[in-house]
Chains A and B, each alone.
Chain A
Amino acid sequence: MADTLLEVDDLTKRFGGFVALDNVSLSVAQGDRVGLIGPNGSGKSTLVNCICGTLHNEGGSVRFNGAPVDGMKTHERTWLGMARSFQLPRPFTSMSVKDNLRIPLIYTVDARAKSRLTQAELDDRCAELLTLVGLEDKAQKMPRDLTQVEMRKLELARAMAAEPKLLIADEAMAGLSHSEVTDIVALLIRLNERGVTIIMIEHIMTAVMSFSQRLIVLVSGRKIADGAPQQVIQDPDVVRAYLGQ
C-alpha cells in the first residue's frame, strides 16, 4: 500500500449549535484519486476548509505527510504541499492570467526552496502550466475576459503552480456543459498522472465515477461510506441519503 499522505482523525466542527462535521475520519494515500460526495449541507466544503486551515476544527486532528498540521495557517499548509481550488473561482482580478500563476510560484515554491526563482524560470513555469491547462494563448488576458470553463482551468492551474502533493478540487465543474466537464476531468487525470494526489468534491456523478478510484460519502457531517465507487453507490445508506426512504 502506498504511503498515507493525508490522515483526518475524528474531525469535529461546530457552528454554534450546528454540528457541521461529526467525528469524520479518513485517510488518503499518495497518488490516490478520491471522490468526495454528499448532498448539499453535508459538510464537504467545511471538511475541505478544515483540512486546508481556512476553518479551525474544534476536535480531532489533521496530519499531512506524517506531520500534524493543526493550528497551522492556510499558507503554511500550502507551503507543505496542500493546494485547493474554490467552488466559485476566485482569481486575482487585478492581475493577468500569467500573473495569477506567478503568485504561488513566488510565495510558495520560493518559500519551500528557500531561494528565489529567476524571471526566466518563472516565465518557463507559467508557460508550462498554461500549456498543461490549455490557456497558453490567454496568458496576458485579464480574468474578466475568460469564459467560465477557462476560469475553472485558471483556478486549477493556480493551485498546481504551488507544486502541491495534494490538490483538493472543490466543485471544479459546477455550472459547466457536458463537454467542458469531460475536459476538466481529463485535466484532473493528467494532473494525477504527474504524481499529484487529488480529492475531487463534486455533484456531477458521471464526472465522479469516471475520475475516482475511491469514493467517500458525507451526510449531515458524518462519513457514511468509503470504498470502491461501484460498491459505494450501491450502499443502502448512500442510496437512502440521495433518494430518501
Chain B
Amino acid sequence: MSTSPDGTAAAPWPLWEVFVRPKRGLSHTHAGSLHAPDAALALQNARDLFTRRQEGVSIWVVRASDITASSPDEKEPFFDPAGDKVYRHPTFYDIPPEAEHL
C-alpha cells in the first residue's frame, strides 16, 4: 500500500489471481496472486512475477473478487459423496495389449 503526499493512505490495489499455461495443450493452472490497479498492469506484473523462468506460454488474470469459490464449511456435502464411487474411475476396462499408450 502506498501513502499519498498529504499523508493519507491511498486505497490499496485490488488483488488478482494469476493462471499460467505451462505449454500448449495443457490447461492454465493457478500460479499465485498479485496486486495491480487494472487488468493490463495485472498482466504485466504476472509476466514479471510468474514467467521469468520460462514457466508459461499464456497468462490469465482474474480479479480475486470475481471468483466464486466453494466454502470450506461445505467440504463434506460437496466432496465426500464421491469418496466411495470408485466405479467413476475408468479402471474397469480390459486394455488390449496393442494399446501402448493408455
Q: Do A and B bind each other?
A: no
* B residues neighboring A (CB under 8 Å): none
